[in-house]
A and B are shown apart, each in its own frame.
Chain A
Amino acid sequence: MQSEAKPFFKRKVCMACRICVDACPVSCIDTASSGTDRDPHGYPFLADEAACISCNQCAETCPVEAVVMQAAA
């Protein structure tokens, strides 16, 4: 169901450009605040799943299709 879908971020495609962070109307997407060898860019992640309203704006605005909406497990 669309209402239960949450964003999933494809790291191999993601540019860490924060377009999805800006597009989210409830600011439930954040970026990593410290880097590791595997995540030096501060990639986005769903920081507050409960706040997510499944509006699809993050996926719609991502220029490289790195955000896909997936039904919650």
Chain B
Amino acid sequence: MSKGYTGKILVVDLTSGAIREETIPDRVYETYLAGMGLGAYQLYRKIPAGADPLGPENVLGFVAGLLTGTGSLFTGRWSLVGKSPLTGGWGDANCGGMLAPAIKRCGYDGIFFSGASDKPVYLQVGNGKAALHDASDLWGHDAVETEEILTRRHHKKKLPRVACIGPAGEKLSLISGVCTDRGRIAARSGLGAVMGSKKLKAVVLSGTRKIEPHDRAAVHALSRKCNRWATFEIPFFSGKMMGRLGTLMRILPTQTAMDGMLFKMMLSKWGTSSMNQMSVEMGDAPIKNWKGSNTDFGPQRSMGVNPDLFRECEIVKYHCYACPLGCGGICRTNGHYTETHKPEYETVLALGGLCLNEDRDSIFQLNETLNRAGMDSISAGATVAFAIECFEKGLITAADTGGLELGWGHTEAITALIEKMIRREGIGDLLADGTRKAAARIGRDAHHYAIQAGGQELPMHDGRGDPGYALHYAVEASPGKHTVGSQLYYEMYRLWKKIKHLPKPDLLYFKNSKYTADETKAICSATCSKYINLLNGSGACLFGAFLGADRFPLFDWLNAATGWDKTPEEYLAMGAAFQTLKQAFNIKHGIDPRRNKPSARALGLPALAKGANKDRRVDLDKMIRDYWHLFGWDQDTGQPSEDVMQYLLVGETAN
């Protein structure tokens, strides 16, 4: 019976060159779905404790979600999984584009690499046929060049889809990722370096197998209903007005529970850059390496990155696979690169407000440069901001930087520094592994200025404005990620519409109430973690989930695609099992969950003296204990029990 998944993975040993198929039992899908859940199941069992993330024992997986290719919407995300060299624990990164269905059309739910090749290679997969090829001629090419070469080389009938590393991954930068579709990047966790350490340059997929859901008509009926919400639009005001709306939201002592339909309409018009100015004004965007505020990057200054300025360069919208929204864009600019992906909000703020850089053209240029190099723009921007502050404090000097006078808003120096990081040249070599490594190399009190959690640079959502972000930065197995949960996300997920016992936020509430750590907030955060695990196991996009669970029929799609008859509560229990397995992965690999808390500055220690987050402090300790308790883990250590682990490994031995 068709169930939407293939029931098989491809396993490649790069040391010996052996390639084999492995059958995955149905019970694994019924515990973890596919996608990142299948990845966690494989990696927990296959990577030995203490394995070097950049050694042959690490396993790197490319996985597609259970719903991908079934006719459901917003389900074109693929995931990259492995042991992270950046954090030392569980690593994942998630990306759109067209690669996700290409994995399944080759006949697999995932492709896993172990071992390491002694020379550069790439894997090519067709319909049940796979082969490793020499990639010596590709080594040194950037990601876009590599994709163009391989697409031409392997385009017979079916246009192949390519995922590859750029020079940053080849040079083992711990903030490197894996690219696809000319600049989409699975950026976080440093997994590009894992691919580089294995001398694996690229994966080329050109399968044409059908992906069969259990009941295609039912899946399509749900999709048509969802699409009515996804395409609903009302005329919108200008990009400049979004900044003023943010100002209003800052001034008011209260806020309303957010309906994701508003955000959906902003995404549809401008993409994620719709938030550029608004987030600065309302205190969502960290400024000046987290020590500044909206007063340092006020409306006049941030006008340079207002959403209309990015949209005016767009020549065509960009839709990932199965997406009716199209928040991406292909843009034409005047810089060195004539055609680029529209920079995302995270990139704009990391290279903009975090460094006080208001030059839009430089952000376009750097976005493309980083995508081609395969370097994470969040971590790169955060590392530059760290370096500027170290320069300001005299911890590094022009003698260290090769003459670069680093400073807030010095666009040319910021650009030159990132190029040095990509080439690992001079100071760039010191910075190319992110802030935690750089701070250790610089010494003295540099670690105070490295704003990270568990080694991963924090993204552009300030936990002092929404403590839910701060909690997830601390408790997730891959710390410092903004794509899991927050108080805002919980409001938009609207899961109480499907699961009646979940708390429903008040329509209007005082902002101060967000900082009170109580059990309700822990329940909301734990629910976010469980739900995002289901999205990642399904291959679904966060922005689809923002429509709300009553408009984005994830649970119904899963039942229609698989033939299961599970309740939303049963699905959330699967999300909890997945979360526990990732936690156990970290403990197995020596990560102490208590040490993943974000840097003190990001928690309001010391508190800001002005701006949107003035005097805001986030007390995480109680929230973390309550969160762990809700998963049944030890409240003091975050350790899952042995009994739970036996259940999670579906009958296999825990070790």
B127 nearest in chain A by CB position: A25
A17 touches B102 (CB 8 A): no
A26 at the interface (CB under 8 A from B): yes
B323: chain A residues at CB < 8 Å are: 15, 17-18
Nearest CB on A from B650, distance (A):
32
A-B contact list, 15 entries, CB within 8 Å: A15-B231, A15-B323, A18-B321, A19-B71, A22-B69, A32-B316, A33-B330, A35-B315, A41-B319, A41-B326, A42-B317, A42-B318, A42-B319, A51-B157, A63-B220
Residue of A at shortest CB range from B332? Answer: A34
Contacts of A15 in B (CB 8 A): 73, 227, 230-231, 319, 323-324
How many angstroms from the CA of A21 to the CA of B101 in the assembled complex?
A: 11
A57 to B227, CA, bound (A): 21
- Distance of A26 Cα from B98 Cα, bound (Å): 16
Contacts of B318 in A (CB 8 A): 42
- In the complex, how many angstroms separate the beta carbon of B27 from the nearest chain A beta carbon? 29
B321-A41 in contact (CB<8A): no
B208 contacts A by Cβ under 8 Å: yes
Render B151-187 as a binary contact track against A, CB cut-off 8 A, 1 for contact: 0000101110000000000000000000000000000
A63 touches B71 (CB 8 A): yes
Query: Quick check: A64 and B224 within 8 Å, CB to CB?
Result: yes
Query: Does A16 belong to the interface (CB within 8 Å)?
Result: yes
B314 touches A27 (CB 8 A): no
Is A61 close to B, CB under 8 A?
yes
Within the complex, what minimum Cβ distance (angstroms) separates A48 from chain B?
11
Contact-residue bracket for chain B: 35 or more
Does A42 contact B208, Cβ atoms closer than 8 Å?
A: no
Contacts of A16 in B (CB 8 A): 317, 319, 324, 326
A/B pair count, beta carbons within 8 Å: 81
* Contact of A22 with B101 at beta-carbon distance under 8 Å, contacts A27-B158, A41-B317, A57-B210 already known: yes
**CB pair A25 B208 closer than 8 Å:** yes
Q: Is B369 interfacial (CB-CB < 8 Å)?
A: no
CB atoms of A40 and B316 under 8 A apart = yes
Q: With A15-B231, A32-B316 in contact, do A64 and B223 touch (Cβ < 8 Å)? A: yes
Q: Which residues from A are CB-within-8-Å of B317?
A: 16, 35, 40-42
Residue of A nearest to B72 (CB): A63
Q: Scoring A residues 37 to 64 as 1 if CB is less than 8 Å from chain B, else 0, what string do you get?
A: 0011110000000010000010011011
CB distance from B154 to the nearest CB of A (A): 12
10 closest cross-chain pairs (CB), A and B:
A63-B223, A15-B324, A35-B316, A27-B159, A25-B208, A42-B316, A26-B157, A63-B220, A22-B101, A34-B315
The answer to whether B208 touches A17, judged by C-beta atoms less than 8 angstroms apart, is no
**What are the interface flags for B224-244 relative to A under an 8 Å C-beta threshold, 1 for contact and 0 otherwise?**
100100110000000000000
